[in-house]
Amino acid sequence: MSPFLYAALKPVTLTPTELRWDLLNVGVGVLLLVIGLTASALFFFRPKWRDRSLIYFGVFTMLYALRLLANRMLIESVVDVSRVFWLYFDYFVSSTIVLPFGLYLYELVEPELKPFFLWIVAAQAVCAVGEIAGAIYGVGLPELSRANNIVTIVSVTLGLAWMLLKRAQRPFTHDVKVFFGGLVFWFLFVVYNNLAGLGVISGPPKSHGLEFIGFLGFVGCLAYITVRRSFATEERLLAIDAELQIARQIQASTLPQQLPKLAELDIAARYVPMTSVAGDFYDFAQDGPKRIGVLIADVAGHGVGAALIASMVKVAFAAQFEHVSDPAKLLSEVNIALCGKFEEQYVTAAYVYIDCERNVVTYAGGGHPPLMLASRADGTVRRVEENGPILGMFAEAPYSSVEIPFRPGDRLFLYTDGAFEAMNTANEEYGKGRVEEFLKSHLTMSPDALSTAFLDDLSHWSGHAQGGQDDDITFVVLDYRDRDEQPGENEALQTKAAG
């Protein structure tokens, strides 16, 4: 047996002085462990304000705390495992602790320094794997410990030196100043501890070193930086959230505040954004007591950018009232107004003009899902497709329209792709076919009741609560009332049947 392993297997004995030092070290170790666990808990239990520096700080602090506790004879005397176990445990922690520390530095530094620190962390990970593999395959711990010391010294020195060189031309940020202050504080204790161990200066023996006090001060600085960064992130996110709330209110004001009222039509609409703001849009253009135009549009993408473009669609649509009875011309003019206003995004749209005097609807689309026409008379649902190119891409894009009969008892269903692209847990799409079947099986239901039931069916299909879908959902339902049906009669019948 080697002298190293023989010394490791010797019984543990504690003098009163060693016991006091061990108790002090254990107290600091437990405190550091609590700090690390708290930081990690904040990271996992506050996902909305998640800051990765929290988890890196937490793991780094916990690893140091575990190593500090593992080196205490008091712990060894309580836990019934051999000294060899603690030596290897200490080595494995020493091999991996540089990784969370390097990742913490990666989060701390400015963007231009991040690529270099990513290479440092990658090199540390490779070295850690090699060191642990060496321990598994029987390389002696003294040799491995020296290799680990070299890796730690070289990587940390390179990282800090690179920070200093890159920041030489401009002042340090507040966080970097605090970091270096804490690091220097810790380093002074390390130097003092080693000089005392060598007998150069008077002080406690190396086994009773004060390095942990310096590290505690360093951790305090890191904790200050981490908490400050987390609160700053939270303030930024709160400000963004407030701005999104304002954007949502503004966007809501661009949608119709109330549905138009026509004696022959019963209308319902639903707008369910995926996020705070969305790119879906619908609007009406009433053309007398018996005629109305309905536009529905879907901007590619989600969020604020899509919502801004949706607002542009509203402005372009509002300016085309002279073409309200000509869907093809109206889409052509809206397309011209949108061209050149955005680069990567595009708009799909559909417009239908309903003439209850002539009992016809005229329909045109631009890259949009087909209109669905349901007939209560024969129980059928048909798709009406008359599509030109998407809007906003080509100024000379041609659009055409189709005229179809629209009789009492018929229903029009205009929608965006979120109404049929919902996926279930088996990654199967709801699909247009299911939309058709749903319309067939709910022909007698009022538009408002149908809208609520359709959203419930989509939620049940996808397994999401309403508002938790993977895309914006918008649709408009328009029923041509039967001649003998009075406004509101269908809803009353539905309520009576439900009761």
Domain for residue 249, yes or no? no
pLDDT value of residue 4: 40
Same domain, residue pair 195 and 321 = no
d(CA 288, CA 279): 29
Most confident of 154-158, 166-170, 222-226, 235-239: 222-226
Query: How many C-beta atoms lie closer than 10 Å to residue 414's C-beta?
Result: 25
Question: Pairing between strand 280-286 and 265-272?
Answer: unpaired
Q: Which of 51-60, 242-251, 415-424 has the lowest mean pLDDT?
A: 242-251
Q: What's the half-sphere exposure (Cβ side, CA atoms, 13 Å) at 11?
A: 2
Q: pLDDT at residue 428 above 50?
A: yes
pLDDT value of residue 9: 44
Domain for residue 228, yes or no? yes
Same domain, residue pair 286 and 170 = no
Same domain, residue pair 317 and 461 = yes
Number of domains in the chain: 2
What is the reported pTM? 0.57
Q: pLDDT at residue 1 above 50?
A: no
Same domain, residue pair 75 and 102 = yes
Domain for residue 78, yes or no? yes
Same domain, residue pair 52 and 175 = yes
Same domain, residue pair 178 and 89 = yes
Among residues 244, 273, 303, the one where a domain terminates is 244
Q: pLDDT at residue 498 above 50?
A: no
Same domain, residue pair 188 and 290 = no
Same domain, residue pair 300 and 391 = yes
Assess contact for 436 and 408: CB atoms under 8 A. no
Among residues 213, 244, 275, the one where a domain terminates is 244
Q: What is the pLDDT of residues 207-217, one digit of tens each?
A: 445 677 777 88
Domain for residue 115, yes or no? yes
pLDDT value of residue 6: 41
Assess contact for 443 and 374: CB atoms under 8 A. yes
Give 476's DSSP letter: E
Q: List the CATH number of the domain containing 441.
A: 3.60.40.10
Same domain, residue pair 104 and 230 = yes
Domain for residue 253, yes or no? no
Domain for residue 349, yes or no? yes
Same domain, residue pair 280 and 221 = no
Same domain, residue pair 54 and 133 = yes
Q: List the CATH number of the domain containing 56.
A: 1.20.1070
Q: What's the half-sphere exposure (Cβ side, CA atoms, 13 Å) at 249?
A: 5
pLDDT band, residue 190 (cuts 50/70/90): low
* Higher pLDDT, residue 256 or 11: 256
Range of the domain at 462: 262-498
Q: Please state the separation of Cα 368 from the chain's center in Å.
A: 28
Give 262's DSSP letter: B
Q: What is the pLDDT of residues 21-40, one digit of tens each?
A: 777 778 888 888 888 888 88
Of 406, 402, 435, nearest in space to 418 by CA: 435
Same domain, residue pair 222 and 283 = no
d(CA 363, CA 355): 11
| Packing angle of the helix pair 98-108, 211-254 (nearest 10 deg) | 50
Q: pLDDT at residue 456 above 60?
A: yes
pLDDT value of residue 7: 41
Rounded average pLDDT over 155-182: 70
Domain for residue 256, yes or no? no
Q: pLDDT at residue 152 above 70?
A: no
Q: pLDDT at residue 469 above 70?
A: no
Among residues 218, 244, 270, the one where a domain terminates is 244
Q: What is the pLDDT of residues 110-125, one digit of tens each?
A: 777 778 778 877 877 8
pLDDT value of residue 12: 52
- DSSP E strand stretches across 385-462: 387-388, 402-405, 410-415
Instruction: Report the share of the chain in percent with pLDDT over 90.
Output: 23
Q: pLDDT at residue 493 above 50?
A: no
d(CA 96, CA 82): 22
Residue type, 490: N
